[in-house]
Amino acid sequence: MRNTVMIWVLILALGPAVIGSGGCASSTAGRAAGEGAILGTVGGAVAGGVSALLFGGNVAQGMATGAVIGATSGAATGAVSGAMADSKAKDQQAQQQAKQQRAEELRKRIGDQNFEAANLLAHCKHRQAIETAQKAYSSTQDSDQRMYALYVQAVAAEEAGDPKTASAVYAQAVKDDPSRGPVEKVKVQCLEGIMKVQKIRQEYGLPPTCK
CATH 1.25.40 fits 113-196, yes or no: yes
Give me the half-sphere count of Cα atoms (radius 13 Å) on the Cβ side of residue 172: 19
Q: Does residue 53 surpass a pLDDT of 50?
A: yes
Q: What is the pLDDT of residue 104?
A: 75
Residue length of the chain: 211
Which residue, 186, 122, 124, 176, is CA-closest to 154?
Answer: 186
User: Residue 177 CA to chain centroid, in angstroms?
Assistant: 24
User: Residue 41 CA to chain centroid, in angstroms?
Assistant: 7
Burial class, 50, CB count within 10 angstroms (exposed 0-12 / middle 13-18 / buried 19+): buried
Better-predicted residue by pLDDT, 143 or 75: 143
Rounded Cα gap, residues 65 and 49, in angstroms: 9
Q: Strands, E, within 124-207: which ranges?
A: none
Question: Residues 46, 121: contact at Cβ < 8 Å?
Answer: yes
Q: What is the pLDDT of residue 27?
A: 43
Q: What is the pLDDT of residue 99?
A: 56
Show me where the domains of the chain are located.
2-110, 113-196
Q: Does residue 154 surpass a pLDDT of 50?
A: yes
| pTM for this predicted structure | 0.65
- 95-114 pLDDT, tens digit each: 666 556 766 777 888 999 99
